[in-house]
Amino acid sequence: MVLTENPKRAAIYFIFDKEGVIDDYITYQLADLRENITFLHCVINGSLTFEGKAKLEAIADEVYVRENKGVDIGAYKAAIEYIGWDKLSQYDELVLLNNTCFGPVYPFKECFDWAATRDLDFWSLTWDLKFDSLGSNSYLHYNDKATHYQSYFLVMRRPLLGSKLLKDFFGDIPTNCSYILSGCVFEYAFPGYFEDRGYKGAIYCDDSDDYNYPLLHNPAHLIRDKRMPVFKKRSFFHHYTDVLNNTLGEVTVEMVRCIESETNYDMALVWQSILRTKNLSDIVRCAQLNRVLARDFTTNAPRGSLSVGLVFHMYYEDLFDENIAFVKNFPESAGVLITTNGEPKKATIEEKLKATGCEAKVIVIESRGRDVSSLLVGAADFVNAYDLICFMHDKKSTHVQPWNVGHSWSYKLNENMVATKEYVANVITLFENERNLGVAFPSYPNHSSYREIIGSGWTMNFGTTQKLLSEFGVNAEINEHTLCVAPLGTCFWFRPKALKKLFAGIGGKGWSYTDFPCEPNRVDGTILHAIERSYAYFAQDAGYYPVFIYNDKFTQIELTNLEFNKSSSAEMRGWVDAMAMDAIGYKKLEEVFNRPVDQITNMNVNYGVKNACRMLAIALRVKFPHIWGVLLPFRRMAKLLLRVK
């Protein structure tokens, strides 16, 4: 059937948000959709906040909140029963869509106009290959078609709309489908099940060369060449093992470049929702939140839109000259605060500043809390006066032997934070250009014993970090089996707005030196290390994303190290895969690891025990070489039991 002029359309828009929040991307999307439809029904699984309900009621004809059961097809079925077939049959088209996509980057009118001139009974925006996840070809509405129409945007037209066939089709669907089952009994029916019964379908973004989920694995092509109006939220948090199974990892970053350069869509709508709801480790990977900046030349000079401050905690006297040389890399307009622990050191620093013609304020802080208290206590008032802060401290890692190991980490921090005047200018410009960027820092050290000790970054600090974030009411999902996104080494750039909640302290009264343990301090597992791992999550909670920063010359070293160490994250990758399968209900963790959940702490053997033993072995080898030799028989036995080299 070809539509007549000014067709009447009804739309059922399904929403699920675990917190019941209606983000701005939804109202933006509905406002454009509303221009093409006569009747809009919003169905919500779970809960809806008072503010969210007000947003929807301002644009929808009906808002229906129901129990969180049956995923999208359960909601569509419930909404159809709520509205009634008699009413829906009066419309020329029924649109079923959900909040799993951002957009539109182009008006929905374009695809509605495209479909209106074609003799169709149903249509969708994209297709995908089928996956026999049930292990059977006898499931409800089975058909031989190898591809299916994706149901995030599915349109049915009269005479199919209102037919007994369609009514029976929805009537047959179980009330409480799982994610996997809904695909088989609902989504996979289009087009084969209805084509077998004489109805005709079509795809707006028809590309016969690409059936493999092009919306997820090739979205820039769809947007640029097919004028695809929407893009998947999952592009920003899909489990990265599957990303690499299908692509090189370029997909999301190329899509973002396309959207920013070729459309008027505001990416702030994306960051608002993604940062509120998803795991930062997934976002960092999928969105490729790494920035490589020129070390020795300025690509674009800062516009001066941000006031810049430097906080530098100087402890080691033999590094004062090197530290002051880094201070001189900052613009003359930048404010500089130097903290140290004692009047003699303060006097020495001031003398060296005067000798080099460098201006800075130097203050003495208590010998409690180290670089963390320098920032959160000593520099608290200073930080609030600027739009952008660089926080540095001199680092030796004296507990790590030999000397070069700790020195190399210091080299990595310095090179990727403040290497040259030109590099500092490029970092400032980066923050000017990316308004949702909150914190930027170098990546982890990946050399010597750090390669084994640091692992995913949590070491022994997951529990204390989780407790800290909970006490501050930080809304951020973290998982001990995947990447800790953090400035390990505590040198980083940040917007004070992004860390406002952290600087406020528990109860809003700020931090004091007594909040930190007295010296001597442990080398890991303290509140200092928990705070070190929390900065990016405080920024996420405030609506800002982090990036890892590298200078272009250092990247040569980093790429070599990553290539050499590329197999060392196999266990963490395995956890990412397992958790993704568990999340969609395809395979529970118990099935993946063949043991009860409370016994799952490993991949091949015990993940926690294996890595704990590695760390203990490294410590013994470095600190107690004699004992290391005595333990040779036990070491050999442990290697056999834990299946490690």
Token pair in block for residue 33: 């959709």
Distance CA 371, CA 352 (A): 21
Token pair in block for residue 135: 């292990």
pLDDT higher than 50, residue 186:
yes
Distance CA 402, CA 625 (A): 13
For residues 133 and 184, the model is more confident at 184
Token pair in block for residue 415: 């090179």
Distance CA 305, CA 429 (A): 9
For residues 579 and 608, the model is more confident at 579
The full length of the chain comes to 645
Q: In the chain, what are the domains?
A: 9-231 (3.90.550), 290-564 (3.90.550), 581-642 (no CATH)
Confidence of residue 399 (pLDDT cuts 50, 70, 90): low
Q: Which of 238-252, 254-268, 326-340, 555-569 shows the lowest per-residue confidence on average (mean pLDDT)?
A: 555-569
* Mean pLDDT confidence for 546-570: 87
pLDDT higher than 90, residue 620:
no
102: closest CA among 252, 233, 205, 224?
233
pLDDT higher than 50, residue 606:
no
Q: Which of 37-51, 76-90, 203-217, 330-344 shows the lowest per-residue confidence on average (mean pLDDT)?
A: 203-217
Other CB atoms within a 10 A radius of the CB of residue 251 amount to 21
* Mean pLDDT confidence for 523-550: 95
2: closest CA among 104, 114, 79, 100?
114
Amino acid at 140: L
Per the DSSP assignment, residues forming a β-bridge with 331 are none
So what's the pLDDT on residue 608?
Answer: 43
Q: Which of 173-177, 400-404, 449-453 shows the lowest per-residue confidence on average (mean pLDDT)?
A: 400-404
Distance CA 166, CA 628 (A): 73
Confidence of residue 610 (pLDDT cuts 50, 70, 90): low
* Mean pLDDT confidence for 432-442: 97
* Mean pLDDT confidence for 165-182: 92
So what's the pLDDT on residue 414?
Answer: 97
Token pair in block for residue 325: 């040389």
pLDDT higher than 60, residue 607:
no
So what's the pLDDT on residue 134?
Answer: 72
So what's the pLDDT on residue 464?
Answer: 95
Confidence of residue 89 (pLDDT cuts 50, 70, 90): very high
**For the residues of 380-448, what is the DSSP string, one character each?**
HHHHTT-SEEEEEE----TTSSSHHHHHHHHHHHHHHHHS-HHHHHHHHHHHHH-TTEEEEE-----ST
So what's the pLDDT on residue 397?
Answer: 61
So what's the pLDDT on residue 604?
Answer: 44
Reported as a single tens digit per residue, the pLDDT across 447-492 is: 887 877 788 899 889 999 999 999 999 999 999 989 999 999 999 9
**For the residues of 53-109, what is the DSSP string, one character each?**
HHHHHTT-SEEEEE-S-SHHHHHHHHHHHHH-HHHHTTSSEEEEEETTEE--SS-HH
Helix segments in 487-549, DSSP class H: 500-504, 527-532, 535-541
So what's the pLDDT on residue 493?
Answer: 98
Distance CA 506, CA 515 (A): 10
36: closest CA among 83, 75, 93?
93
* Sign of the CA dihedral with 493 first, then 497, 498, and 500 last: positive
Distance CA 103, CA 270 (A): 9
For residues 479 and 521, the model is more confident at 479
The fraction of the chain above a pLDDT of 90, given in percent, is 72
Secondary structure of the chain: what % helix, strand, coil (to 5)? Answer: 45, 15, 40
Mean pLDDT of the chain: 90
pLDDT higher than 60, residue 248:
yes
Helix segments in 140-236, DSSP class H: 164-172, 179-185, 192-195, 214-217, 219-226
